[in-house]
């Protein structure tokens, strides 16, 4: 296998090659670091590359290979961590240059799990400032770019993570999703991104500051890779405010499960924010035809998300205030959101209203197993496309673009972004599958069924 093919090999296959001594952790780390050095200046996918730490870890793991056969599931596989998550001894900037010297002395709980699974961390990937935006262009950093077409964004806020996986700068990535921030970048970059159910993945040790709307999640080349990383991430840590039992069987095993006849709803319209563009509609309608061929029962209908818009905005704004970053150090849109932040009472009222609407949305799933939506309402924007707009105009554009995503954050339901084709600019088209609460396994099984009928792994950007 040549080096380029190896760089684009799924993470599960890399783990198998390592276990069979066909490739070493050190070889893989050196390969990815070489590609990062070559391509990251174009892509802006990493804020921080931890080359020395990664090489030291890879050397130790390569030596361990000769002394033991008991290995964790992803022993020696290179991964990236989003720069909203703490890795001990590594800068955590939250996409704000004022925090370049912020070096945590602890690992986030999800990072601990990733290390325990045997992964080797290559560095911290680009994010929008404090994770607020669906593009990754924070001040003081190069903008993250889409490997499929460098003029376009890879999305946000996990834009660097998705760009790195799509460009072969890591095997798989950790991201996080508070309003589509895993699903959007996965869609922009032709990857599989899973937003888990609330309580599936820990927020330890720092806790959750945005009413349970955000969660960590995996971004991978295949459904199986993303499912296996979700298995690694999942699980309760003492004191978590939300929790779910471990899946039985595993999420990876769900990729091999045979599905019965599912009741599937779909829509390309998200009232009150609008209809998807032709490319995003095409992705949904093609997927619906495929689902009908599989024998699933399909009906065009959608829950009413309109009541979420206002309370979700209030919670989003409060997240900016909770960052503790002073207004003068924020980008204009975040400064605008901070200025709009209301009282504690208004925040609590918004949470209550969001929960009322969320109950109505979840009730829709009493008679539906899966909802198929576009991920975003239109194809990716160009890098800098909204840079000269007012903060009010930019925020309105953001809300419309990401409209299909925040509903699952508000309800805590699981959702998957899955690539299904290309648009006229050579950028991936994806669909979103939303499931019942805690029903990741059903979504993963369905996504694997779609992937098997429309394989994506052979596609890679021509960098």
- How far apart are alpha carbons 383 and 155 in whole angstroms? 10
List the structure tokens of 292.
């009908």
Query: For residue 1, with 0-12 CB atoms within 10 Å meaning exposed, 13-18 middle and 19 or more buried, which class applies?
Result: exposed
- How far apart are alpha carbons 294 and 274 in whole angstroms? 29
Contact yes or no for 170/163 (Cβ under 8 A): no
CB neighbour list of residue 268: distance below 8 Å, 6 or more residues apart: 275, 276, 280, 281, 284, 285, 373, 374
- How far apart are alpha carbons 246 and 234 in whole angstroms? 7
Tell me which residues are annotated as active site.
82, 157, 181
Sign of the alpha-carbon dihedral angle for 344, 347, 349, 355: negative
CB neighbour list of residue 27: distance below 8 Å, 6 or more residues apart: none
Contact yes or no for 213/315 (Cβ under 8 A): yes
- How far apart are alpha carbons 463 and 461 in whole angstroms? 6
List the structure tokens of 240.
């978590």
3-state SS, 70-137, equals CCCCCCCCEEEEECCCCCCCCCCCCCCHHHCCCCCCCCCHHHHHHHHCCCEEEEEECCCHHHCCCCCC
- How far apart are alpha carbons 190 and 186 in whole angstroms? 6
Find the Cα–Cα–Cα–Cα dihedral 178, 183, 186, 188, rounded to 10°: -100
- DSSP state letter for 247: P
- How far apart are alpha carbons 202 and 235 in whole angstroms? 7
């Amino acid at each position: 296998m040549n080096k380029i093919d190896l760089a684009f090999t799924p993470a599960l296959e890399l783990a198998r090659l390592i276990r069979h001594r066909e490739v070493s952790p050190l070889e893989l780390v050196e390969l990815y670091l070489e590609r990062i050095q070559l391509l990251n200046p174009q892509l802006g996918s990493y804020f921080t590359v931890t080359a020395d730490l990664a090489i030291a870890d890879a050397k130790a793991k390569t030596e361990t290979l000769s002394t033991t056969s008991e290995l964790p599931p992803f022993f020696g596989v290179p991964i990236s961590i989003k720069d909203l998550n703490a890795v001990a001894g590594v800068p955590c900037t939250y996409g704000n240059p004022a925090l370049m010297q912020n070096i945590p002395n602890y690992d986030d709980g999800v990072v601990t799990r990733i290390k325990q699974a045997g992964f080797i961390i290559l560095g911290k990937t680009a994010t929008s400032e404090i994770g607020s935006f669906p593009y990754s262009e924070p001040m003081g950093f190069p903008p993250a770019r889409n490997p499929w077409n460098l003029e376009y964004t890879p999305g946000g806020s996990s834009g660097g993570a998705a760009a790195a996986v799509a460009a072969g700068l890591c095997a798989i990535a950790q991201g996080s999703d508070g309003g589509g921030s895993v699903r959007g970048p996965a869609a922009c970059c032709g990857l599989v991104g899973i937003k888990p159910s609330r309580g599936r993945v820990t927020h330890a040790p720092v806790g959750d500051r945005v009413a349970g709307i955000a969660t960590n999640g995996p971004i991978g080349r295949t459904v199986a890779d993303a499912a296996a990383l979700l298995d690694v991430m999942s699980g309760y840590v003492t004191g978590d405010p939300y929790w779910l039992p471990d899946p039985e069987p595993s999420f990876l095993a769900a990729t091999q499960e045979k599905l019965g006849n599912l009741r599937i709803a779909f829509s390309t319209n998200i009232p009150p924010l609008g209809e998807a563009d032709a490319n995003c509609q095409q992705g949904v309608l093609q997927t619906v035809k495929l689902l009908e061929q599989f024998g699933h029962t399909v009906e065009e209908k959608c829950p009413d998300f309109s009541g979420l818009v206002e309370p979700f905005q209030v919670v989003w704004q409060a997240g900016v205030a909770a960052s503790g970053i002073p207004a003068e150090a924020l980008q204009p849109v975040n400064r605008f959101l901070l200025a709009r932040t209301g009282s504690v009472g208004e925040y609590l009222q918004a949470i209550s209203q969001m929960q009322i609407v969320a109950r109505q949305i979840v009730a829709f799933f009493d008679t539906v197993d899966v909802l198929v939506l576009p991920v975003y309402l239109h194809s990716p924007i160009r890098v800098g496309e909204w840079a000269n707009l007012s903060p009010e105009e930019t925020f309105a554009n953001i809300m419309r673009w990401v409209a299909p995503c925040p509903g699952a954050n508000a309800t805590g339901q699981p959702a998957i972004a899955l690539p299904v084709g290309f648009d006229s600019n050579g950028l991936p088209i994806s669909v979103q599958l939303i499931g019942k609460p805690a029903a990741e396994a059903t979504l993963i099984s369905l996504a694997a069924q779609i992937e098997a009928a429309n394989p994506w792994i052979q596609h890679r950007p021509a960098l």
